[in-house]
Each structure stands twice: as structure tokens, then as C-alpha cells.
Structure 1
Amino acid sequence: MSTNRGQGQNAVNVVNKRVIGYLDDDVFTTLSELNAAIDERVREINHDIRRADDTTRWERFDAEERELLAPLPDAGFEDVQWKELKAARNYHVTVDTQRYSVPFGLAGKLLRVRLTSSQVTVFDGHESICEHPRLTGRKGQYSTLPEHVPPQYRNIDGLWSRRWFTDRARSVGPATVTVIEQILDAQVIEAQGYLACQNILDGLGKNNRERLEAACQDLLNRRAHPTYSTLKRLMAAIDSDAKKPRPVVPAASTRKRVSTVVFRDTMHDVYVRDASHYARDEEGK
């Protein structure tokens, strides 16, 4: 350690004397002129100045160090981030709102994920399981490798499936079943629609089955594209309509009704008038 420190300090001294000190009195008008002068001084230090053993720095490098160097990597250095993430029941891990598949047998397992700006690598312990190009842009995108998808028509315990969601939707209503099926049918890989179905049934419909069924029926009537956001807006509209204030009904009047009816007593041939008749007479005076 001390030898390396001494060699480093000696190299700094050489640069101070042979580069900085040498060029101290010179004036440069452009950066390229300064760089050219520095390159010349560095060439002199490495190729012309001989050490105590009568070798130059370049000769020592060429004889002892060149063969030990490895080639530079094809890609530049990237910052690396590590996370521990649990694979969901749709056998995907979620990284910054984007979803990446893992082999379906790892669903429910805690995995290590290595992140760079361009790559997502998933590890089970120290073993690399799979790699995905890192997704950017729109939230909620999927990167699903075909070999990670479980065989069709096979009942696999612990995983989400079409039947899992349609059975739950059936307890809400027929319109909800149709919407769930439309969401699943719209996916290139069916599992990419599982999380949306889960959010609809467990999020929107957990305590609002009637409103969810009504919103699904409204969506089907409109022939709209079925999404979680669309159903959420329709349910909010249904809720707002239910809470609208009822029309105001005027209160009953407490004022006495004015009657102009004339009563006739036929037995005694007497005409009886109400108070309004005399009120008019008073006004005419």
C-alpha cells in the first residue's frame, strides 16, 4: 500500500513539474492549443524520460502490463439498482409500474431484480432466471416471454386464470362476466389482462356489486372499450345521480282560501254570501 502511494505521489510530482510547471508561462487562446501542448508533455514523460533502470514508462508498460489488461466492454458502464420483489399470481413482477414475466412456477416467490437503464434481470437467489428489455413510457405495459406462460387448459393451483375471474364475475352479474371476458380476449397473452380484472372485481366491485353490474351494462350499451378507468368513471356517474337532491316541492299554503260561492236556503228563501262578497263592497266604497 505504501509503495503504491509513493508511486502515485511521484507521478503527481512529475506532472506538476513536466506539465503544469513547464506550461505555466505560456498563453493559449484556444482549448485545442492547450490540449495539444499537454499531449506533447505527456508523450515526453512516457516515451523520452528514462528512469533509474534506464527504461521509459512506456517500455515498462509494454513489457509488464499490456498483456494483463482485458478489452473494454462493448457497452458503457451503467448504474445498477437491486430490488427484492414478489412475483404476483399472474407470474409477473412489477417495476416502476411496468410488468415483467417470470416462469409461472415462481409465482408467489420473493425474487431479486437487477435494474439498469436498459435491462431488467430477474434472479432466484444467485441464479439468473430471465432478462427483459426495460420498458419506458406508458404505465402498466407488459413484457411477457412465451416460455413463462403455463400450458393452456391446465389447472395450476395458486395462479390466476380465466375461470378464476369469470367465476367471481358471475357472482356480480352477467354484464360483468361479459366485460371480464372482453378484457381477457383483447390481450395477446391472456395473463396481461389478469391484473385489470382483479382491480375491477376486487377494487371497484368489492362493496359495490350492484353499481359495478350497472356500470358494466352501461359500458356494453355504449359499446365502449372495457377498461378499469372507464368503469370507474361510469360508477362515479351512477353514484352522483343517486345522490342528486330531489326537486323542491312547495310547502302547502297556510292562507285561507277566498270563496265566492253563494249558498241558498231554499226552505226560507234566504241567500247567504261569504265574507269575500262584503269585502268587495267595502273596497268599492
Structure 2
Amino acid sequence: MLNYREIIRLKSLGYSNLRVGNSCGSSRNTIAEVWKLAQDKELTWPIPNNLTNKDLSAILYPGRLTSQGRKLPDYEYIYKELAKPGVTLSLLWSEYCEKCRHEGMIPYQHSQFSDKYHAYAASKKATLRITRKPGEIMEVDWVGNTLSVIDETTGEEIKAYVFVACLPCSLYSYAEAFPDMKSNHWIEAHVHAYSFFGGVTRILVPDNLKTGVIKNTSTELILNHSYHEMAEHYGTAIIPARPFTPRDKANAERTVGVIETWILAAIRNRKCFSFTEVNAVILEKLTEFNKKPFQKKKGSRFTAFEEEEKDFLMPLPASPYETAIWSKATIQPDYLIPVGNCKYSVPYEFIGKKIEVRTTEKTIEMFFHGQRIASHIRRAYSQEPIYVPEHMPANHRQYLAYNSENFLKWGENIGDNALLVIKNFLYMHKIERQGYKSCVSLMRLADRYSTNRLEQACGTALTYTPSPSLKNIATILKNGLDKVKVKPPSLQSDTSHGITRGAAYFRGGKEKC
């Protein structure tokens, strides 16, 4: 199925039908048709995430039928005609379509026509030369050879992989070393390259490495989520080179070879002890490389860039793209997602659901079917899980609200007797948390019997013992003893020294006390 969302996004950015077709694996006629239908239906970017490509297809093409039976082009004729001045593949495709209409045949779409011709031309080792426009394309790749960075602690050598970006029009280039070729460094390299050039090209041509391109066929293009997100941030279109077709990014391939000689080989005997140091050396050699005069024409890569290409670059966005790592996770019963050394909460309603997690250096974001359901500020370390109260069920929120301060405040609102009982529950243990359960149970008694009766029951219990138990108070409330006024027993004898036995008791006699 066509990626209608991507077609509408790229057309909204002002790209041509052919460029959008190359990016989405469709013909330019199809792109023009989709864009016209989208305008007729008043579909504009951004399109809501819940409107899928299947929905867009139903909106744009209700009851659409497919046709079969196509005329095969004469590629030998096309091969010979392309050798003539001014003749292009697009012109020959237009003539081919006109011929098909006269013969009542169905022509191939532009993308199919081009792919079949390129396959035929490759068998004859023919090359289709393309003139590059200023500010249009940036080609990127990794250098095959590596550098070495010495670990200051162990003295071991660490491999350094070199990223290269080239602007085909001026051949102005950028290079930087990284400890690996993983997705985060791949995207970080692009961000640094755009900053180095001071602008953004309209098209980005990478290789088909898995860190950037998941799938690239004649009919389908699937990009890495973070890579596509970066392209949207900078407003550029990613059009990967065809698999096993280095000519699609010939300038980057040549630049890689030249950089291997003029930069990597030139610093082969330099000992660097950090990536900051090795990149400083690379930048020094890169400046020399870009200012090195051309052999067959005037100027250098730097002067060509300054005079011919710099002004045609699109402006950089207000802030650089923050590298993000996307991953998938299934929500567990504790509704927590582990990221690094911390655990972050998501709404408990998504327990058992599969979600996507977007991780940057500063934030953690969770998405379900394209909709953001939670976000957190990223922390380096936290021993306790990081919960957002709104993510929790009501009973869990109530449990987290249990603490000594809240219990004491509640006791003050009930009365002096209840406060004394609360303090007894909290302070009778070595750890206050051990008394939380008794405090919670006391609060439930207040819900069951009312706060006034609980206050009376606590007072009654305190007349018997300075440390009443929860069971004592519950028994008083159950039997209604809190409603009976209890008077302390009075003794007729002098009780200042307690009850004493008289002399008659010890003589075996009887004596009233």
C-alpha cells in the first residue's frame, strides 16, 4: 500500500512529484494524482495519527479498480537515444506513454519504467549521468577503514569509525569519528554535519545500512523510526541509494576514498587518547582537504561551497534534533517501564499492552498507536520507581499518600484522643512505617462508625491503658461502650499507698478495708 501520509507530508514541504515518488517508491504521476485528490478532499499536513494509510486510501480512492496488461518498452532504443544531447529518461518515458495511448496499451509507471531501464543499462555497464543542483542533496556513508584511539587507563586501542557527508554540487565534505556505527551515533553524525554546513539539503541519500533503512525495495521503503523523525525535524526527504548500487551516491563513495588517503592515512602515526582529540585532528585535516585546489578546474571545495551552494541550503531549525532511541515494551502489572537505572510509570489502563518508548538524554516518552500516553524527565539513577499519581489506580494513590505527617494531621482533625492513639501506633515501633497498617485500620473504623464515636472510643480505651491496641478500640465500638460514660473506681481507704492489708489479716482474722 502507498504511504499516503508520507506523500502528503513531502508534497506539503514543496518537493517535486519525482522526488517524492523516489522517496515513497511510486511514480510521479501517482504522486501528482494523490496530491490532487488530497487537495480536493482538503487533506493537509499534519494529518491526525489515528488516520492511517488504509483510511486515507478509502478516502482518496473509493472503489478503485486495478488494471493489467502493459506494453514492454524498447530499452535498446532508449539506450541509444539517451546518448543524444538533451535527451532525458523522463522525455523518453513521456514519448513511450504517448505511443501506448495510440496503440491502446497500458504504459508502465515512471518508477517501473526507470527501474527496468537501469537494470538493462547495468547489464551493458552504462551509466546515467545526473547533474546535481546546489543545496539539493547530501550523500552520507561510513569509511571502510578505521582509526585507533588509545584508552588512557588500560592502554588498549579502541576502534574509531569515521562518518563522511558530501554535498555533490560543490563536493564540500564533512568527517567525524565515533566509537561505533549504532543508530544514535549515526543520527548524531547527521546533526553535526548539518551544523557544519550551516544549512540543510532537500534530499538525504544514505546507504542501506540497518541503523537507518529497515527495508528498501522497488515498491516499499521503511526507515528507522528515529531516522525518519530526524528527517521530519530538519524538513528533508530521505531517498536511500538502491541496494548494491554505489553509483547512486557516487560522490560520497569517491569522497570516502579520498578521505581515506588525505585524512586517515595522513594521521595514521598520530596517537590520540580521546575521541575529542581525534576529531580535532580530523577537523584540522578536513579543513586542509576542503581548501585543497581542484586539479581540473579553478577553486576548491570550500570556495565552490561558499560561492555556489551555501545560499541554496535550507535554514537550520531553531534547535538541533535531540537524538532519540526507540524501543518496544509490554506493560507489566506494576505499570513500570525500565529505562537505564530507573523505572518510570505509565497509565495503569495500558497493562498488558505493547507500547513504543522514545528515549533521549533528557526525556522519556511512551506512545500507544502513535499517541503519547506518558512522559517523564529522565534521571540518571533512582532507587525508588518514579510514579506519576495520575497513572495509578485510586487505591494505589491512597496507599502512597500514607505517611506519618498525613496520619498525624488526620488525628488532629478527629480529636486529642485519636491523636494520642495515632502517636502511640507510630512511635511504639522502631520504624514508623510498621505502624502504618494500624493507622489505616483506625481510619477505616472512623469511616464505619463516624469520627465522633471513634474519638469517644479512643478516650474510653485510654482510661484503661496508656497504650491501647487497635483491637481494644474496635471492641469498644462494636459493643457500644464508647456511648457509656466510664468513671474510674473510687476507694474508701487511703489509696495514696495502694490497698494495704491490716494486722487482722495476718492474724487470720477478718478486717474490713
TM-score, length of structure 1 as denominator length? 0.39
- TM-score when normalising by structure 2: 0.24
